[in-house]
A and B are shown apart, each in its own frame.
Chain A
Amino acid sequence: MKPADTKEKLRLSELFSFGGATGPLIGLLLLCVFLSFATDSFLSVRNFLNIMDQITVLGIIAVGMTFVILIGGIDLSVGSVLALSMMVLGYLNVHADLPMGLAIPGALLISAITGAIAGILIAYFKVPPFIATLAMMSIARGLANMITNGSQIIGFPTWFNMAAIIRYGGYLTITVGIMLTVFLLAWLFQRYRQGGRMLYAVGGNPEVARLAGIHVKQVTVLVYMACATLAGLAGILLAARLDAVQPSIGVAYELDAIAAVVIGGTSLSGGTGGIGGTLVGVLIIGVLRNGLNLLSVSPFVQSVIIGLVIVVAVAAETFKRPAR
Chain B
Amino acid sequence: MTQHANQPILTLRNIHKSYGSIQVLHGIDFDLHAGEVVALLGENGAGKSTLSNIISGTVLPSQGEMTWQGAPYAPASPRAAIDAGVGMIHQELMLLPHLTIAENVFVGRYPLKGGIVDRREMNRRAKQGLMRLGLDVSPRRLVDGLSTASQQLIEIAKALTLDARMLILDEPTAALGGEETKLLFKQIARLKEEGVGIIYISHRLEEIRQIADRIVVMRDGAKVQEFDTADLPVRTIVESMVGRSMEQMFPPLAVPEDKTVLEVRDLAGAQGTFSGVSFSVRKGEIFGISGLVGAGRTELVRAIAGADPIIHGTIMLNGEDITPRSPGDAIRKGIVLVPEDRKLQGVILDHSIQENFAYSNFDSVGRGRWISSRKLRDFAAENIRKFGVKGRGRQKAGQMSGGNQQKVVIAKWLARRPRVVLLDEPTRGIDVGARSSIYEIIHELAASGVAVVVVSSDLEEVLGVSNRVLVMAAGRQTGILDHTDANDVSVMELATA
Q: Which B residues are CB-close (under 8 A) to A5?
A: 394
**Alpha-carbon distance between A208 and B337 when the two chains are bound, in angstroms:** 11
Q: Decide: B362 and A205 in contact? CB cutoff 8 A.
A: no
Q: Decide: B327 and A212 in contact? CB cutoff 8 A.
A: yes
Can you name the residue of chain B whose Cβ is closest to the Cβ of A208?
B348
B interface, size bucket: 35 or more
Q: What sequence of 0s and 1s flags, for each residue 411-436 of chain B, a beta carbon within 8 Å of any chain A beta carbon? A: 01000000000000000000000000
**Alpha-carbon distance between A58 and B344 when the two chains are bound, in angstroms:** 35
- Which of B307, B344, B355, B399 gathers most chain A CB within 10 Å? B355
Contact of B348 among A194, A196, A204, A213 (CB under 8 A): A204
A interface, size bucket: 20 to 34
Task: For residue A112, give the distance in angstroms from its CB to the closest CB of chain B.
Answer: 21
Q: Decide: A194 and B327 in contact? CB cutoff 8 A.
A: no
Can you name the residue of chain B whose Cβ is closest to the Cβ of A15?
B373
Q: Which A residues are CB-close (under 8 A) to B398?
A: 324
Q: Decide: A4 and B396 in contact? CB cutoff 8 A.
A: yes
Can you name the residue of chain A whose Cβ is closest to the Cβ of B338?
A211
Q: Decide: B371 and A194 in contact? CB cutoff 8 A.
A: yes
Task: For residue A210, give the distance in angstroms from its CB to the closest CB of chain B.
Answer: 6
**Alpha-carbon distance between A193 and B371 when the two chains are bound, in angstroms:** 5
Judge if B380 is at the interface, Cβ distance under 8 Å: no
Q: Decide: B350 and A193 in contact? CB cutoff 8 A.
A: no
Judge if A32 is at the interface, Cβ distance under 8 Å: no
Can you name the residue of chain B whose Cβ is closest to the Cβ of A10?
B394
Given the known A-B contacts A192-B371, A193-B369, are A2 and B305 also in contact in the complex, defined by CB atoms under 8 Å? no
Contact of A211 among B307, B355, B369, B371 (CB under 8 A): B307
Q: What sequence of 0s and 1s flags, for each residue 204-226 of chain A, a beta carbon within 8 Å of any chain B beta carbon? A: 11011111111100000000000
Can you name the residue of chain A whose Cβ is closest to the Cβ of B329?
A213
**Alpha-carbon distance between A193 and B358 when the two chains are bound, in angstroms:** 12
**Alpha-carbon distance between A324 and B350 when the two chains are bound, in angstroms:** 11
Q: What sequence of 0s and 1s flags, for each residue 383-396 of chain B, a beta carbon within 8 Å of any chain A beta carbon? A: 00000000010111
Judge if B279 is at the interface, Cβ distance under 8 Å: no
**Alpha-carbon distance between A324 and B331 when the two chains are bound, in angstroms:** 33
Q: Decide: A205 and B328 in contact? CB cutoff 8 A.
A: no
Given the known A-B contacts A204-B348, A205-B348, A207-B344, are A6 and B327 also in contact in the complex, defined by CB atoms under 8 Å? no
Q: What sequence of 0s and 1s flags, for each residue 288-332 of chain B, a beta carbon within 8 Å of any chain A beta carbon? A: 000000000000000001010000000000000000001110111
Q: Which of A47-97 contact B (CB under 8 A)?
A: none
Q: What sequence of 0s and 1s flags, for each residue 189-208 of chain A, a beta carbon within 8 Å of any chain B beta carbon? A: 00111111110110011011
Contact of A271 among B328, B351, B392 (CB under 8 A): B351
Judge if A266 is at the interface, Cβ distance under 8 Å: no
Judge if B449 is at the interface, Cβ distance under 8 Å: no
Binding site of B, secondary structure by majority: helix, strand, loop or mixed? Answer: mixed
Q: Which B residues are CB-close (under 8 A) to A195?
A: 369
**Alpha-carbon distance between A41 and B66 when the two chains are bound, in angstroms:** 68
Task: For residue B399, give the distance in angstroms from its CB to the closest CB of chain A.
Answer: 7
Given the known A-B contacts A194-B366, A271-B348, are A215 and B328 also in contact in the complex, defined by CB atoms under 8 Å? yes
Q: Which B residues are CB-close (under 8 A) to A211?
A: 305, 307, 327, 337, 339, 345-346
Q: Which of A251-291 contact B (CB under 8 A)?
A: 271-272
Q: Which of B338-359 contact A (CB under 8 A)?
A: 339, 344-348, 350-352, 355, 358-359
**Alpha-carbon distance between A272 and B412 when the two chains are bound, in angstroms:** 21
Contact of B394 among A6, A209, A215, A272 (CB under 8 A): A6
Given the known A-B contacts A4-B395, A5-B394, A208-B348, are A197 and B339 also in contact in the complex, defined by CB atoms under 8 Å? no
Q: Which A residues are CB-close (under 8 A) to B328?
A: 213-215
Q: Decide: A191 and B350 in contact? CB cutoff 8 A.
A: no
Q: Which A residues are CB-close (under 8 A) to B352?
A: 2, 4
Q: Which B residues are CB-close (under 8 A) to A204?
A: 348, 350-351
**Alpha-carbon distance between A254 and B328 when the two chains are bound, in angstroms:** 34
Q: Decide: A194 and B305 in contact? CB cutoff 8 A.
A: no
Task: For residue A323, give the distance in angstroms from its CB to the closest CB of chain B.
Answer: 12
**Alpha-carbon distance between A114 and B112 when the two chains are bound, in angstroms:** 51
Contact of A6 among B307, B326, B392 (CB under 8 A): B392
Given the known A-B contacts A4-B396, A207-B344, are A212 and B366 also in contact in the complex, defined by CB atoms under 8 Å? no
Judge if A165 is at the interface, Cβ distance under 8 Å: no
Q: Which of B365-412 contact A (CB under 8 A)?
A: 366, 369-372, 392, 394-396, 398-399, 412
Q: Decide: A197 and B348 in contact? CB cutoff 8 A.
A: no
Given the known A-B contacts A195-B369, A201-B348, A271-B351, are A212 and B360 also in contact in the complex, defined by CB atoms under 8 Å? yes
Can you name the residue of chain B whose Cβ is closest to the Cβ of A196?
B371
Q: Decide: B344 and A4 in contact? CB cutoff 8 A.
A: no
Q: Which B residues are CB-close (under 8 A) to A271?
A: 348, 350-351
Q: Decide: B331 and A213 in contact? CB cutoff 8 A.
A: yes
Judge if A117 is at the interface, Cβ distance under 8 Å: no
**Alpha-carbon distance between A196 and B373 when the two chains are bound, in angstroms:** 13
Q: Which B residues are CB-close (under 8 A) to A208?
A: 344-348, 359
Task: For residue A152, give the distance in angstroms from its CB to the closest CB of chain B.
Answer: 43
Q: What sequence of 0s and 1s flags, for each residue 1-43 of chain A, a beta carbon within 8 Å of any chain B beta carbon? A: 1101110000000000000000000000000000000000000
Q: Decide: A215 and B346 in contact? CB cutoff 8 A.
A: no
Given the known A-B contacts A6-B394, A197-B371, A201-B348, are A213 and B360 also in contact in the complex, defined by CB atoms under 8 Å? yes
Q: Which A residues are CB-close (under 8 A) to B331?
A: 212-213
Given the known A-B contacts A5-B394, A6-B392, are A197 and B355 also in contact in the complex, defined by CB atoms under 8 Å? yes
Q: Which B residues are CB-close (under 8 A) to A196?
A: 371
Can you name the residue of chain A whose Cβ is closest to the Cβ of B305?
A211
Task: For residue B305, give the distance in angstroms from its CB to the closest CB of chain A.
Answer: 7
Q: Decide: B394 and A197 in contact? CB cutoff 8 A.
A: no
- Which of B328, B398, B399 gathers most chain A CB within 10 Å? B328
**Alpha-carbon distance between A194 and B367 when the two chains are bound, in angstroms:** 10
Q: Which A residues are CB-close (under 8 A) to B346?
A: 208, 211
Can you name the residue of chain A whose Cβ is closest to the Cβ of B330?
A213
Task: For residue A288, give the distance in angstroms from its CB to the closest CB of chain B.
Answer: 30
Residues of chain B at the chain A interface (Cβ within 8 Å): 305, 307, 326-328, 330-332, 337, 339, 344-348, 350-352, 355, 358-360, 362, 366, 369-372, 392, 394-396, 398-399, 412
Residues of chain A at the chain B interface (Cβ within 8 Å): 1-2, 4-6, 191-198, 200-201, 204-205, 207-215, 271-272, 324
Known: A198-B359, A201-B355. 4 other contacts (CB 8 A): A197-B371, A201-B348, A205-B344, A208-B347
- The 4 tightest CB contacts between A and B, nearest first, are A204-B348, A213-B328, A213-B331, A212-B360
Provide a sorted-by-A list of 25 A–B residue pairs whose CB atoms are within 8 angstroms: A4-B396, A192-B366, A193-B370, A193-B371, A194-B371, A197-B358, A197-B359, A200-B355, A201-B348, A201-B355, A204-B348, A205-B348, A207-B344, A208-B346, A208-B348, A210-B307, A211-B307, A211-B337, A211-B339, A213-B326, A213-B330, A213-B332, A215-B328, A271-B351, A324-B398
